[in-house]
């Protein structure tokens, strides 16, 4: 078997990926694009890869998920290489840090704080203490935030998060100290209130007020999603996919009839939209 065939059948390891990253960053012989990157410049690619992982999961395309997880892992390797070059950290220290943190956050699984320690709780007892586990998790995270110098409850909620996800995280964090409604009904009432305020702002033709009330309405909708135990980014992505499917149906029907959007009225498009909805129900 030739060297090329051997290489094609090789099962690469994590160490191979780390070595590959080192080679890409070598000043002499590396990749010009990779060499010029820094922590900030690759953040957009990391966010994109994370969304592509989520998309593959939602599509239940597990072959694609394997590939996308590899792309996301490569982002971590990239950051670790940058950290090593600047003598900040390396991949081994990243792994060690996360293991230490997870041991600390799971005393109900690792009672001695050691990797090989085991809980002696029965399955039934584990169910009983589940709520206690959640409370302990948040208490541990609060201590960690304090150790990092964050003095206020919402200080470390990342500004760079997508707005819907950040709204949910802000609300969830506030809820840990009791700032929350008990159920979804008052949230729905709040949505109606915010919608009425938006309508009032529109009637007043106050652009600044309209933007503010739109934001309040979005925030209230996220609150409803949280109370209904739905991830707002996930449900909106699903709505986006549904819109694309229905709009694509309209487009395909127009093309099959040698028509165009320019020559089709909104009323005619609405008929096709309703057809698309009926087709969905048949599936």
| Contacts of residue 226, Cβ cutoff 8 Å, sequence gap at least 6 | 168, 171, 172, 232
Neighbours of 110 (CB within 10 A): 17
CA gap 199, 211 in Å, rounded:
12
141 belongs to a structural domain: no
Range of the domain at 29: 3-89
Does residue 226 sit in the same domain as residue 243?
no
117 belongs to a structural domain: no
**% of residues, the chain, pLDDT over 90:** 67
Mean pLDDT (the chain, rounded): 90
Query: What are the phi and psi torsion angles at 186 (to 5°)?
Result: -65, -25
97 belongs to a structural domain: no
pLDDT digit string, tens, across residues 125-157: 655 566 666 677 777 777 888 888 888 889 888
Q: Are 168 and 232 in contact (CB under 8 A)?
A: yes
Select from 89, 124, 143 the last residue of a domain. Answer: 89
Does residue 249 sit in the same domain as residue 187?
no
Q: Are 178 and 162 in contact (CB under 8 A)?
A: no
Examine the pLDDT at 1 and tell me if it is beyond 60.
no
Catalogue the long-range contacts made by 239-243 (C-beta closer than 8 Å, 24 or more residues apart). Answer: 242/280
Q: Where are the beta strands (DSSP E) in 17-91?
A: none
Does residue 23 sit in the same domain as residue 76?
yes
Residue 198 belongs to domain with CATH number: 1.10.287.1080
180 belongs to a structural domain: yes
Select from 210, 230, 250 the last residue of a domain. Answer: 230
105 belongs to a structural domain: no
CA gap 222, 232 in Å, rounded:
6
Smallest Cα–Cα separation from 91: which of 12, 21, 11, 10? 21
Does residue 253 sit in the same domain as residue 186?
no
Select from 89, 120, 149 the last residue of a domain. Answer: 89
Our count of domains for the chain comes to 3
pLDDT digit string, tens, across residues 205-234: 999 999 999 999 999 999 999 999 999 988
148 belongs to a structural domain: no
Task: Give the pLDDT of residue 46.
Answer: 93
58 belongs to a structural domain: yes
pTM of the shown model: 0.66
261 belongs to a structural domain: yes
pLDDT digit string, tens, across residues 102-113: 998 888 888 888
Identify the three-state secondary structure at position 139.
Answer: helix
Q: What is the mean pLDDT of residues 70-82?
A: 98
């Amino acid at each position: 078997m030739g060297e090329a065939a051997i290489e094609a059948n090789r099962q690469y390891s994590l160490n191979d990926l780390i070595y590959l990253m080192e080679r890409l960053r070598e000043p002499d012989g590396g990749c010009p694009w990779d060499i010029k990157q820094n922590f900030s410049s690759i953040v957009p690619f990391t966010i994109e890869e994370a969304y592509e992982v989520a998309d593959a999961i939602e599509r239940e395309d597990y072959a694609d998920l394997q590939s996308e997880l590899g792309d996301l892992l490569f982002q971590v390797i990239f950051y670790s290489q940058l950290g090593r070059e600047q003598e900040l950290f390396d991949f081994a220290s990243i792994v060690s840090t996360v293991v230490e943190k997870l041991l600390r956050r799971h005393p109900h699984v690792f009672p001695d704080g050691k990797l090989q320690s085991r809980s002696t709780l029965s399955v039934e007892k584990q169910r009983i203490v589940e709520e206690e586990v959640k409370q302990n998790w948040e208490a541990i995270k609060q201590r960690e935030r304090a150790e990092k110098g964050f003095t206020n409850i919402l200080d470390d909620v990342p500004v760079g998060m997508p707005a819907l996800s950040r709204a949910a995280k802000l609300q969830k964090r506030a809820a840990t100290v009791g700032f929350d409604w008990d159920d979804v009904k008052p949230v729905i009432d709040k949505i109606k209130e915010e919608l009425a305020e938006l309508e009032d702002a529109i009637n007043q033709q106050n652009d600044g007020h309209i933007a503010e009330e739109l934001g309040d309405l979005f925030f209230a909708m996220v609150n409803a999603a949280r109370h209904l135990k739905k991830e707002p980014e996930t449900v909106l992505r699903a709505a986006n996919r549904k819109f694309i499917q229905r709009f694509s149906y309209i487009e395909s029907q127009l093309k099959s009839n040698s028509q165009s959007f320019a020559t089709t009225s909104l009323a005619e498009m609405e008929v096709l939209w309703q057809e698309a909805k009926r087709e969905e129900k048949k599936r």
